[in-house]
Amino acid sequence: MPIFRIFHIVYVAMAFALGTALRGLRLLPSSPPSSERFRLSLERLGTTFIKFGQSLSIRRDIVPDDYVVALQKLQDHVSAFPTSVAVQEIERGLGRPVAKMFAEFEETPLAAASVAQVHGARLRDGRSVIIKVRRPGLKRQINQDMRSLFWLARVAAVIISRLRHYQPLRIVTEIWTNLLKEIDFCREARSIRRFVTAFADWPTLKIPDVVDDLVSETVIVQERSHGLRIDDASLRSDGPRLAGIFVDAYLHQIFVLGVFHGDPHPGNLFVTGDGRICLHDFGIVGFLDRAMRRKLAAFAMAFVRQDADWLLEAAIDLGILGGELDRSEFRRGLVEIIGDYAALPLKDWSLAEAFLRVTRLGQAQNVFVPLDLLILMRAMFLAEHTVRILDPDFQLLEALQTKAPGVLEAAMKQADWATTLNRLRLDAADTARDLPSMLSTWVQQLAREGSGLGLTLHVRELKGLHEKLERSSNRFVLGLIASGLFVSGALLMETAGPRIFGEVPVFAAVAFALALWFTLRLLRAIARSGRL
């Protein structure tokens, strides 16, 4: 962990914090806003922190909106590294000389960014391709910087106790892990091939394929495609048709495939000469299993139908509301959200914004929304923005209502019931085969213990189970003591000895008083918890 790099990070962080404090005291001008100064601070710290900021912008559930907007503007365009270095990296990554792999190689880069730069080339079979080559030393730099950031986050959590609720170490670790995934081109190639296969029969969509045997962790060679950016003004007349294609493609990705392009901004979307939408850059991809897709469909339909109770259940099932829930309070919040949208024209409804607002309702209890749902939230915001560029009057919710039943039916048909039944049959056969040995073990245990079979129950991932059991057992014991004291008091009523008011024996009165005190404590505890 280079000490000078840590000092540099600390210096930039302290400059930002001091500037924010002085502006809060009005000792410095309020312009530019703190969100913009935070963005500029990250840009000064270089590639790792630019990517860190971009990753942090996904966390709309905990990052304020003005910071999200600023972080999304982080400049990812940097100067290109020398072509000779690019050639060395290509040859090191693919294990062959450039001259033997390509008939032509364009020395001037087509584009350069913080992670990689792109060169054009032509294969020996005549195909036009692009070569995406990672910046040399990038992985080492990310690991060094993220270790420094992890250490600083640990110190900050100790100094600023309020930060502990957000678990900054976990956030840093999550972003670190995903940065390493994003710069792994082997992983990106697998995602591209998955999308190519899934959309092979779609005449309206184009996914440039990866060239076989020309992929490594640091280099990826892909078919070259040409076209106009999807926000090009010349495409406005064709906007409604393109918007429909785009929405169909994303509904299919989310609800049928369970894997979706996580970064659909206009720079990654082109329209080819024959009118197809072309998707690029699969570094950020989200995954949704079948259960999550069903829950997400329930959330979308509850929102469309303006059903607050259904929306609450769907949000809890998805995991975007968690912790100790006051259901009545959350329901009031959901009713307010639904009421806000009811007053808007249907074309202005935003499923992404509603999803974010519901997520923020539970921010105090549940900081960690599942990562793939955060990527989905980002993708939905970008996708809705793209749809409105193409067709400002496009009614997204109406399209969802119309298309969702067919999409969900296709998702259900996708389930391989034959495979499921075969697996069930195999599991049953395995159990039947193991049953004699299991019975033998139980019989031997019974013979040893002589008092019956023991049952061990393993319960995993039930938050707070130990505390709840301890609290319940304490209440149970308290109830037993109170009951015992009432019984004892009743028996002591028949004994001789000093009496209060000439009628109640002193010891009986003490027993009744203690029993009443324990009973009141028990009732108070139950009243506070709201549950019997």
Give the DSSP letter string of 305-333.
TT-HHHHHHHHHHHTSS-SS--HHHHHHH
The contacts of residue 339 (CB under 8 Å, 6+ apart) are: none
Half-sphere exposure of 50 (CA within 13 A, CB side): 15
Query: Three-state SS for 458?
Result: coil
- How many CB atoms lie under 10 A from the CB of residue 52? 22
With both helix axes pointing from N to C terminus, report the angle between 396-414 and 290-304 in degrees, rounded to the nearest 10: 150
Dihedral angle, C-alpha 22, 24, 29, 33, nearest 10 °? 110
Three-state SS letters, 56-98 = HCCCCCCCCHHHHHHHCCCCCCCCCCCHHHHHHHHHHHHCCCH
The contacts of residue 17 (CB under 8 Å, 6+ apart) are: none
Q: What is the largest CA-CA distance in the chain?
A: 115
Give the DSSP letter string of 224-236.
----EETT-GGGG
Residues in the chain: 532
Query: Three-state SS for 366?
Result: coil
Name the E strands within 143-284. 205-206, 210-215, 219-223, 228-229, 259-261, 269-271, 277-279
- Distance CA(308)–CA(332), nearest Å, equals 8
Nearest to 291 by CA among 326, 264, 318, 262: 318
Write out the two tokens for 273. Answer: 């000469």
> Are 148 and 1 in contact, with CB atoms under 8 Å apart?
yes
Write out the two tokens for 233. Answer: 């003004």
Write out the two tokens for 67. Answer: 């910071």
- Distance CA(88)–CA(97), nearest Å, equals 9
Set 263, 274, 289, 416: catalytic member: 263
Nearest to 305 by CA among 354, 259, 265, 271: 354
> Are 256 and 406 in contact, with CB atoms under 8 Å apart?
no
> Known catalytic residue: 263?
yes
Catalytic residues: 263
